[in-house]
Amino acid sequence: MKLDTRAMRHLAPDDWRVLAAVEQGSKNHELVPVTLIERIARLKGGASGVHRCISNLAKVGLIAKMKEAKYDGYRLTYGGLDYLALHTHAQKKAVYSVGSRVGVGKESDIMIVADDKGDQLILKIHRLGRISFRTVKTNRDYLKNKPSASWMYLSRLAAIKEFAFMTALRDEGFPVPEPIAQSRHTIVMSLVDAPPLRQISSVPDPAALYAELIALLLRFAKHGLIHGDYNEFNILIREDVVEGETDSEGKEKVTLTPIVIDFPQMISMEHANAEMYFDRDVNCIKLFFERRFHFVSTTPGPFYKDAKKTLGKDGAKRLDAALEASGFTKKMAKDLEAAIRAQEAEKEQNPSAYESEEAEDDEAEDDEEDEDDENDSNDSDDDEDAQGKKPIGNHIPVVIE
Nearer to ligand ADP, 50 or 235 (CB): 235
Tell me the backbone φ, ψ of residue 100, rounded to 5 degrees. Answer: -95, 170
Dump strand ranges (E) for 177-281.
179-183, 186-190, 225-226, 235-246, 252-260, 267-268
Q: Which does 107 bind (CB under 5 to 8 A by kind): ligand ADP, Mg ion, none?
A: ligand ADP
Of 357-376, binders to ligand ADP (CB under 6 A) are none
Position among 122, 168, 180, 322 found at the interface with ligand ADP (CB under 6 A): 122
Residue 68 or 362 with smaller CB distance to ligand ADP: 362
Site for ligand ADP in 130-149 (CB under 6 A): none
- Binder of ligand ADP out of 191, 256, 345, 396 (CB under 6 A): 191
CA distance 327 to 69: 35
Tell me the backbone φ, ψ of residue 108, rounded to 5 degrees.
Answer: -160, 155
When binding is defined by CB under 6 A, the residue of 233, 277, 278, 288 that contacts ligand ADP is 233
* Subset of 263-302 contacting ligand ADP (CB under 6 A): none
- Cβ at position 392, least distance to ligand ADP in Å: 14
From the list 1-9, 102-110, 273-281, 313-321, the region that binds ligand ADP by CB under 6 A is 102-110
* Of 382, 379, 400, residue with least CA distance to 390: 382
Question: Is 192 near ligand ADP (CB under 6 A)?
Answer: yes
Phi/psi-derived region of residue 80, left when phi > 0, alpha when psi is between -120 and 50, beta in every other case: alpha
User: Of the residues 82, 229, 262, 281, which is catalytic?
Assistant: 229
- Write out the H or E segment, with its range, that includes residue 287: helix 274-293
Q: What is the chain's Cα-based Rg?
A: 23
Distance CA 126, CA 132 (A): 14
CA neighbor of 173 nearest in space, from 315, 285, 321, 326? 315
Q: Is 229 a catalytic residue?
A: yes
Q: Which is nearer to ligand ADP, 110 or 333 (CB)?
A: 110
Closer to ligand ADP at the Cβ: 19 or 189? 189
Q: Which amino acid is at 360?
A: E
Residue 195 and residue 258 in contact, taking contact as beta carbons nearer than 8 Å: no
Determine the longest span between alpha carbons in the chain, in angstroms.
77
If one asks whether residue 196 binds ligand ADP (CB under 6 A), the answer comes out as yes
Q: Does 34 bind ligand ADP (CB under 6 A)?
A: no
Output the smallest distance, CB 124 to ligand ADP, in A.
6
For ligand ADP, the binding residues (CB under 6 A) are 102-103, 105, 107-108, 110, 122, 124, 177, 189, 191-192, 196, 233-234, 261-262
Catalytic residues, which ones? 229
